[in-house]
Structure 1
Amino acid sequence: MKKLLILIAGGVTFIIALCMLGPMIGLAFSGLLILAAMYFYTKSHTTFSKVIWIILGVIGASSAIANIPAIIGIVAVVILYVLYRKWKDEEMTVEHRSSKSNDPFTNFEREWSNLTK
């Protein structure tokens, strides 16, 4: 039953992530435009080129604001990743170590407990 619920939740989040693929690409493109504008603004020397890069940065920022719904898609991708990790989670076995080992820290703890008795 648990695997069925994970499968259904994974299907729903996959559909949401697929529907938000366009805004996520637009947000990534506008982020790259902002980064490029900031980079070239710091490299430019003339006032005209700085104004041009500021205008391109504002265009990128307005495009990023328009693509805010892409955050829903990003959250859906993160949830899909978490559900995938839950799906692949296998029962872990714990190995029991014997008290007689060659580990110096274990030996120290054992000897210390014998000395403080």
Structure 2
Amino acid sequence: MRKFLLFVSGLVALLVLLANLGPMVLLAVSGWLLYVVFKKFVKSDSTAAKVGWVIVGLIVLSIVFSNIYAVIGVAAVYALYWIYQNWNKDERDPVVETVEDDDPFTNFERQWAELNN
């Protein structure tokens, strides 16, 4: 049952990722453009050039904010990663074996495992 639920949630996350793939790419490109505009702004010497780069930067920033839905796609990527990590995990807790040895370290580990359960 656990693998079925992981499969269904993975399928939903994949569909959400595919639906938001375009905004994710556009968000990455506009973030890169915003970085380039900032670098050009810092390198420019004249006031008119700085004002022009600020205007271009505000336009690119509006593109960044219009693609904020790409964060949902990033969450879907994280969900897919989490599902991939938990796919082969054991459903049961590890079994604590009782050892009849008088070794203090073995007894400590057994008692610590019992306290944590």
TM class, shorter-length: 0.7 to 0.9
Note the residue ranges of structure 2 that are not aligned, 5 or more in a row: 95-102, 106-117
Which residue of structure 1 aligns with residue 61 of structure 2? 61
The one-character-per-residue Cα deviations of 1:10-29 (angstroms, maximum 9, x if unpaired) are: 01000100100011111111
Q: How does 1:1-117 map to 2 (within 5 A)?
A: 1-89=1-89
In the alignment, the residues of structure 1 paired with residue 61 and residue 11 of structure 2 have an alpha-carbon distance, to the nearest angstrom, of 33
Q: AA paired with 2:18?
A: L
Deviation at 1:50, TM superposition (A): 1.1
For the residues of structure 2 that align with 1:37 and 1:23, how far apart are their CA atoms?
A: 20
List structure 1 segments (4+ residues) > 3 angstroms apart after TM superposition: 88-91
Q: Do the aligned residues in 2 keep the contact of 1:33 with 1:56 (CA within 8 Å)?
A: no
Structure 1 unmatched runs, 5+: 94-98, 100-105, 107-117
| TM-score, normalised by the number of residues in structure 1 | 0.73
Please, what TM-score do these two structures have when normalized by structure 2? 0.73
Q: May I ask how many residue pairs the two structures share in their alignment?
A: 99
Q: Secondary structure at the match of 1:72?
A: helix
